Structure 1
Amino acid sequence: MPDLTVSFIQTELHWHDAAANRAAFELQLAQLAGPTDLIVLPEMFTTGFSMEAAAQAETMDGSTVAWLREQAAAHNAVLAGSVIIRENGHYYNRLLWVRPDGSLRSYDKRHLFTLAGEQHVYTPGRPGWWRSGAAGASARWCATTCAFPSGAATSPWRPTTWCCTWPTGPPSAARPG
């Protein structure tokens, strides 16, 4: 298997402003030094970690999926990050794995963050793994969202990618009370 170069991009998010977040990440992507095979963006990178799924959700044919495809092609790299997706009357915290050719795989977060009430808003998914397509790798890849990957440590699938956000909370103006 050839070497795999991974870039992680973490930046301040604009609360509930998908267009501003995509623009900010586009600037970050433009500053990458040298070629990379896989670019990992944070959990809910377009909105911040939000329980307001009805107001913030996109569809799989929405602006963010199109943007991910454009960026993957422009950087000749796989892009991975999670987005709030509305599908068949349900909301998902969906990790999108977009290849430079525009094809994509997805994983719906399985172990929802109960301390934030995520289980009351989002539908849990199933385990996600697939052949990566990054750097010509043919290994199976496990993708998961958040930092509580129950069972991932003993999973036979390697390597594993975690896409996480550790929020300090919404801006004070958006906080109730």
Structure 2
Amino acid sequence: MREFTQVLADRLIDLGWMMATAESCTGGLIAAQCTDLPGSSRWFDRGLVTYSNSAKSELLGVDASLIEVHGAVSEPVARAMALSSVYRTNARASVSVTGIAGPDGGTVAKPVGTVWFGWCIDGLVYSECQLFSGTRQQVRQASCAHALVGLSQRLPVKR
């Protein structure tokens, strides 16, 4: 996964941008992966671990009614987390992750392994849902990799 992170770091440095994370089911793994690289302070601003619903509301400003209506693991919440993590930091790019890593907590509508991603790139928000299989740790690791690759792929090319 280090290679994904290095590609992302190089892209952000080239743009002169900082990034932020808003993580739920990954519990800070994305931020840890980023800060494992030497010199990450040049492109990584901060990571917010908003595991509980109240943390999503208190730290990111996600409307509690949005969580109540759609659930914490949903496209609207992932999008709100990504957008807010840019507006509340010094970043121009962010990634958010909210999902069900398991082994329990899943439903028929949202089975274990369901993960919603949000990416905010210079004010534009993108979202995507993935269903990962495996153990709790495998779901979390796959989510981390997908988040980093997804952010890197969505960054603009410097002109």
Which of the five TM-score ranges fits, normalised by the shorter chain?
A: 0.3 to 0.5
User: Where is the helix percentage greater, Structure 1 or Structure 2?
Assistant: 2
Question: Taking structure 1 as the reference length, what is the TM-score of the superposition?
Answer: 0.31
Q: Which gives a bigger RCO, structure 1 or 2 (Cα 8 Å, sep 6+)?
A: 2
Question: Taking structure 2 as the reference length, what is the TM-score of the superposition?
Answer: 0.33
Larger Rg: 1
